[in-house]
């Protein structure tokens, strides 16, 4: 990936729930959407990734919100950090923003999970539950045509519900495989607790960053009201 090439801009990247845009990510276009030339044993992990991303919605009644978020160079962010945490309050659009990032990445193989899938006693159990008999390293080795390797985990706060030994095993793998990047979306109240529980400071030092997605502003709420008048009474009650 060329440094500084991809810039996330909500005015140019629209991500609707259940759909993928025609972004730069040829892995999404060729593999996830079209299952191009893939053996049956790889289809489970591809479908897993597709299902996680398809559940992420960034519109209300078909109206797409163009978030007033600060643009940042995604490529540089990923090149400089192995771990990227996208945090914000409930309803701030963390997952939708993460999905926009994933769709913008060039030449990148993506594996996605819901965080609660790691509430298992081992990573093998997590993978077996989705009918995958390959290790994480073996999965990526099957997609050698893609230079970059990335794992996305949605709703990281779910790990507060139990012990996630499977996630600890994943982090151990990433510690030894610096090329594999990890993007996590998480509610703000849980992020620091979970970083303390599952990461050591040395691993994250100069190797991680946090991207905060703020709550909707009044201007952004008004955008929805203008396009969906039925929401006016709800917004008025919030105020």
Q: What pLDDT score does 131 carry?
A: 92
For residue 143, is it within any domain?
Answer: yes
Q: What pLDDT score does 105 carry?
A: 85
Look up the pTM and report it.
0.81
For residue 117, is it within any domain?
Answer: yes
For residue 17, is it within any domain?
Answer: no
pLDDT higher than threshold 60 for residue 4: no
- How do 83-88 and 63-64 pair as beta strands? unpaired
Q: What pLDDT score does 163 carry?
A: 95
Residue with more model confidence, 217 or 49: 49
Q: How far apart are the first and last CA of the chain?
A: 44
Q: What pLDDT score does 133 carry?
A: 93
> Hey, what are 111's tokens?
């594996």
Q: What pLDDT score does 56 carry?
A: 85
Which CATH number goes with the domain that contains 197?
3.40.50
> How confident is the model over 59-70, as pLDDT tens digits?
666 666 555 444
* C-alpha distance from residue 59 to each of 91, 111, 165 (Å): 12, 24, 34
Interval 117-128 mean pLDDT:
98
For residue 85, is it within any domain?
Answer: yes
> How confident is the model over 97-117, as pLDDT tens digits?
888 888 878 889 999 999 999
pLDDT higher than threshold 90 for residue 121: yes
Q: Domain total for the chain?
A: 1
For residue 204, is it within any domain?
Answer: yes
Interval 163-190 mean pLDDT:
97
- How do 59-60 and 63-64 pair as beta strands? antiparallel
Range of the domain at 162: 26-238
For residue 55, is it within any domain?
Answer: yes
For residue 157, is it within any domain?
Answer: yes
Lowest mean pLDDT across 6-10, 115-119, 203-207: 6-10
């Amino acid at each position: 990936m060329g440094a500084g090439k991809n810039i996330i801009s909500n005015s140019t990247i629209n991500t609707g729930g259940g759909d993928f845009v025609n972004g730069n990510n040829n892995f999404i276009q060729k593999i996830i959407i079209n299952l191009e030339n893939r053996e049956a044993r790889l289809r489970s992990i591809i479908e897993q990734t597709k299902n996680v991303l398809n559940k992420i919605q960034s519109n209300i009644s078909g109206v797409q919100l163009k978030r007033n978020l600060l643009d940042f160079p995604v490529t540089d962010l990923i090149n400089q950090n192995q771990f990227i945490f996208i945090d914000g309050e409930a309803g701030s659009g963390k997952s939708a923003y993460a999905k926009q990032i994933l769709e913008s990445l060039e030449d990148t193989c993506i594996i996605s999970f819901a965080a609660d899938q790691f509430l298992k006693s081992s990573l093998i159990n997590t993978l077996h539950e989705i009918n995958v008999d390959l290790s994480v390293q073996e999965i990526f080795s099957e997609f050698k045509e893609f230079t970059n390797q990335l794992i996305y985990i949605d709703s990281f706060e779910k790990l507060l519900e139990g012990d996630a030994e499977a996630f600890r095993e994943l982090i151990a793998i990433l510690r030894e495989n610096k090329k594999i990047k990890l993007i996590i979306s998480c509610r703000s109240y849980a992020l620091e607790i979970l970083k303390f529980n599952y990461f050591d400071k040395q691993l994250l030092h100069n190797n991680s960053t946090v991207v905060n997605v703020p709550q909707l502003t009044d201007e952004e709420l008004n955008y929805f009201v203008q396009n969906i008048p039925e929401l006016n009474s709800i917004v008025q009650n919030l105020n």
